[in-house]
Amino acid sequence: MGEPGKSSAIAKTGVVTAAGAMSGTSLDGVDVAVLRTDGRDITGFGRTAYRDYSAAERATIAAGFGQWSGAAVEAAAETIEAAHLEILRDFTDVDLIGFHGQTLAHAPRLQGTLQVGNGAMLAEALGVPVVWDFRSADVEMGGEGAPLAPFFHHACARYIQADGPVAFLNLGGVGNLTWVDPRIAEPQAEGALLAFDTGPANAPVNDLMQERLGLAYDKDGGVARRGVVENGALELFLAEPYFARIPPKSLDRNDFAEMVALVRELSDADAAATLTAMCAAGVAEAMQHCPSPPSRVLVTGGGRRNPVLMQMLQVSLDCPVVPVEDVGLDGDMLEAQAFAYLAVRVARGLPTSCAGTTGVRAAVGGGTVSVPNAT
């Protein structure tokens, strides 16, 4: 079994090749992406792959949401491990793998955070060092445990040679925002980063589509486009105490489960339009916390493919809102790339979160490194 911080099989200096694997709260599937980095600068990006979840797999994983233990958690973990093993067998030529696992429950102020999937087992099965359990150390030191991509966003901003503050907006199941000042060299330095969850993003709309229409998501915003936003429901949503909290702050996928109840009496189209507007409104509220206005908002995650949501964001915000592809990045794979990058930082003892990203008391490098055949 691997031990925390055990990285003897990984070069201590120089550029290495890492693969990152991500399964997000929207439950579409597993993303895998390769990059080359020394843990600070991005040298280049490599190949990517995607494995869709079947309907049965999606249902098994979803049954574990909000659970901390028990048969549903064990079944979800087995499904996650099997899916990751299947896709990662094509990535054993890398120096190490960053394995996020699947978040089933996240309550950092109460019970902690739970990502299922055994990285030590994957390391043994694949014959490659695996870095995993990225969030626990941050939570143990008083942090929110999320979001963790901001240190990678900082590296991306420097990679694209941004000359001033920019914002990365990830619209997965939950939305999160990273404000970056790339003029500050180290991500953990004061003023370099501010990051936090903006509110629900795709998850409530996906749940609505599944419940009412048997669809995985609202493709191209087609259902929302036909609807009218119910402003009363939108106002109730924005009255939630979460929006008044000062960041850093984070959410669990189900923290806004009552959103669906707010639109229960609406037509399919009006409900989809209202839930989509809630996502955009949460982002608009979040932008008020930025230390200074970003020159642009770079959108990643599945939400950037929804033209209705993107239009709502453009109307709501005071700066250009564009998909990250506009600056040469891959919005489908940015989170997987993030965990490849973070894996190298963990293996080299570098911090992966700080006060500005998770509220942790001091910059901390989370994660366990499991080396195959380690004793």
Q: Extract the tokens encoding 252.
A: 């669990």
Confidence of residue 342 (pLDDT cuts 50, 70, 90): very high
Residues 6 or more apart whose Cβ sits within 8 Å of residue 8: 371
Residues 6 or more apart whose Cβ sits within 8 Å of residue 284: 313, 316, 317
* Chain-centre distance for alpha carbon 223: 25
CB 276 within 8 A of CB 221: yes
At 84, the amino acid letter reads H
Confidence of residue 5 (pLDDT cuts 50, 70, 90): very low
Equal CATH topology for 16-146+332-370 and 161-327: yes
Q: What is the pLDDT of residues 132-153, one digit of tens each?
A: 999 999 999 999 898 899 999 9
Confidence of residue 173 (pLDDT cuts 50, 70, 90): confident
Q: What is the pLDDT of residues 41-72, one digit of tens each?
A: 999 999 999 999 999 999 999 999 999 999 99
Distance (Å, rounded) from C-alpha 327 to C-alpha 330?
9
Distance (Å, rounded) from C-alpha 266 to C-alpha 25?
25
* Structure letter (DSSP) for residue 141: T
The β-bridge relationship of strands 193-200 and 174-180 is: antiparallel
Q: What is the pLDDT of residue 346?
A: 97
Domains of the chain, by residue range, sit at: 16-146+332-370, 161-327
Confidence of residue 6 (pLDDT cuts 50, 70, 90): very low
Where is average pLDDT lowest: 27-31, 97-101, 290-294, 337-341? 27-31
Which one, of 284, 318, 292, lies nearest residue 192 by Cα?
292
- Average pLDDT of the residues of the chain: 93
Residues 6 or more apart whose Cβ sits within 8 Å of residue 117: 77, 80, 81, 84, 99, 100, 101, 102, 132
| Fold classification of 16-146+332-370 (topology level) | Nucleotidyltransferase; domain 5 (3.30.420)
Mean of pLDDT values over 333-343: 97
Q: Extract the tokens encoding 128.
A: 């490659």
pTM (2 d.p.): 0.91
Whole-number percent of the chain with pLDDT over 70: 97
Which of these CATH numbers, 1.10.3720.10, 2.160.10.10, 3.30.420.40, 1.25.40.340, describes 161-327? 3.30.420.40
Q: Extract the tokens encoding 313.
A: 């964001």
Classify the phi-psi angles of 70: left when phi > 0, otherwise alpha if psi is within -120 to 50, otherwise beta.
Answer: left
Alpha helices (runs of H) in the chain, residue ranges in sequence order: 55-62, 71-88, 119-126, 136-140, 150-159, 202-213, 222-225, 231-238, 258-262, 268-287, 307-316, 334-347, 355-358
